[in-house]
Structure 1
Amino acid sequence: MFVFSKQFWRFVMVGFTNTFNYYVLYLFFNHLLNMPYLGAHILAFLISMVGSFFLNSYFTYKTKPTLKKFLQFPLTYVVNFVVTTSGVFILVDILKLDENISPLLASVIAIPFTFIVSKMILLKEG
């Protein structure tokens, strides 16, 4: 089972780092630049995704990042983006949870999906 692999736990460590970076960016855009929470979420998500690509390439999967993989990597985050964005919307607008905590909760739900899809892209040969 993949949750017991070293690779999965490296992915989780990268995920914590990436989530921290995302969250700092989210708070910066939302509070300091007064962006609406969904705009702040989307911009922080896109910026942190670039960092995630390199951290996962070098540290998690120990593979050389290529332009082809870099261009494919955002496609793997479609599931992550849908899960987190839907989660943030549901948590804030429907369940009325705090918009500062909701992105973290939504990100946790997306972890297994992102691991599987990013592994498929980053370890694919050619």
Structure 2
Amino acid sequence: MRSTPTPRMSRQIATFVVVGLINTATYYALYLLFLRWWPYLVAHVVAYLLSMTGSFFLNARFTYRVRPTLRKFLLFPLTNAANFLITTAGVYVAVDVLHAGSRFAPLMASAVAIPVTFVVSRWIMLPGAEAA
């Protein structure tokens, strides 16, 4: 196994970070909007689902340069299960355990989940030998 990333993987990581920043900004804007009307966990779940859809298409087009297929689209949320669990648990811990407030809790939780999301999304978008 290679210890340093290939140029292709380095580009994917950089693009993944940019897409992630766009996705995080979209998620957070939606979260704050929904927080006006809904409890924080409902706002988190709905904003997460909407931003995940955008993330799939941006990552397919720009990060992995693959055609977005229905199969990949249906698998993509499954690959984000770990991310969802990490961010949801993180939001809960930050708000209800640490009393950090609901406005910034999602940003803290997302930072922890980023590496897991890259590995799993790359595995789905580039199945088989391409992802190795």
Q: Tell me whether the two structures share a fold, i.e. TM-score over 0.5.
A: yes
Task: List gaps (5 residues or longer) in structure 2.
Answer: none
> 1:29: Cα distance to partner?
0.4
Task: List gaps (5 residues or longer) in structure 1.
Answer: none
Count, aligned residues: 122
**Paired-residue identity, %:** 52
The reply on whether 1:101 has 2:104 as its aligned counterpart is yes
Report the structure number with the largest CA radius of gyration.
2
Partner of residue 27 from structure 1, selected from 32, 49, 66: 32
Find the aligned partners of 2:32 and 2:52 in 1 and give their Cα distance: 16
- TM-score using structure 2 length: 0.89
2:88 aligned residue? 85
- Where do 4+ consecutive residues of structure 1 move more than 4 Å? none
1:2-81 matches, cutoff 5 A: 2=5, 5-31=10-36, 34-81=37-84
Find the aligned partners of 2:113 and 2:18 in 1 and give their Cα distance: 14
Find the aligned partners of 1:90 and 1:5 in 2 and give their Cα distance: 33
